[in-house]
């Protein structure tokens, strides 16, 4: 007998509730926010040239977007997420930075975005998706030839969570990304705090 698969809890309603709690408690701006992956963010920013157009897919509370804009002030930075709650709060946070935010359900609406980005980041997203390969195809299609794609995810099951519907090992992720580029580079982070994550990046084949 086939057992019915459990539903994916990663819906706009679920994340609206999560982010509402985090914004209302001021956790996001506390300086001790659990989603502030500082060394990972630093490694991402180091890859981004000033003046680049940058799209952050699944931007959540917008920390990475704002960090990129502070470090690369001439960059055009846009963050998209399917949580209207967090996009509304992002727009009200440091508006002087000029980061653009939009409510976009990346499961269905990525093809509606422009296809000329210099850099696309997709951080802590792929492990939440029911159709990761299709969405990766659609995300990479938004990147100009020669553009930079950056992805982060926990490796294997080092961060167990009911929000994670798929585990990714280093080799599996490499083979998924290899079709887009001539080389795929990985960064791993030393313990104690960020060793469960890996970052992959590549330059899109022309």
pLDDT tens digit sequence for 111-136: 999 999 999 999 999 999 999 999 99
Q: Give the long-range contacts of residues 15-22, CB within 8 A, separation 24 or more.
A: 15/81, 15/82, 15/83, 15/85, 15/86, 16/83, 16/84, 16/85, 16/86, 19/60, 19/61, 19/83, 19/85, 19/86, 19/89, 20/85, 22/61
pLDDT tens digit sequence for 13-66: 999 999 999 999 999 999 999 999 999 999 999 999 999 999 999 999 999 999
What is the distance of C-alpha 203 from the center of its chain? 17
What is the distance of C-alpha 88 from the center of its chain? 18
Q: Where are the domains of the chain?
A: 37-203
Topology of domain 37-203, CATH: Rossmann fold (3.40.50)
pTM recorded for the entire structure: 0.96
Are 86 and 19 contacting, i.e. CB atoms less than 8 angstroms apart?
Answer: yes
């Amino acid at each position: 007998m086939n057992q019915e698969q459990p539903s994916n809890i990663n819906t706009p309603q679920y994340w609206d509730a999560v982010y509402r709690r985090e914004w209302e408690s001021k956790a996001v701006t506390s300086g001790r926010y659990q989603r502030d992956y500082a060394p990972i963010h630093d490694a991402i920013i180091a890859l981004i040239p000033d003046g680049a157009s940058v799209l952050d897919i699944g931007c959540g509370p917008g920390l990475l977007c704002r960090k990129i804009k502070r470090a690369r002030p001439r960059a055009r930075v846009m963050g998209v997420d399917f949580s209207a709650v967090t996009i509304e709060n992002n727009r009200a946070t440091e508006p002087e930075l000029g980061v653009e935010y939009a409510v976009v359900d990346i499961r269905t609406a990525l093809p509606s975005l422009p296809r000329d980005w210099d850099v696309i980041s997709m951080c802590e997203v792929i492990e939440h998706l029911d159709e990761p390969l299709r969405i990766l195809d659609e995300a990479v299609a938004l990147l100009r030839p020669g553009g930079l794609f950056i992805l982060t995810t926990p490796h294997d099951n080092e961060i167990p969570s009911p929000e994670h519907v798929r585990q990714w090992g280093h080799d599996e992720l490499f083979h998924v990304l290899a079709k887009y580029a001539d080389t795929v580079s990985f960064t791993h982070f030393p313990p104690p705090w960020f060793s469960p994550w890996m970052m992959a990046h590549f330059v899109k084949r022309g």
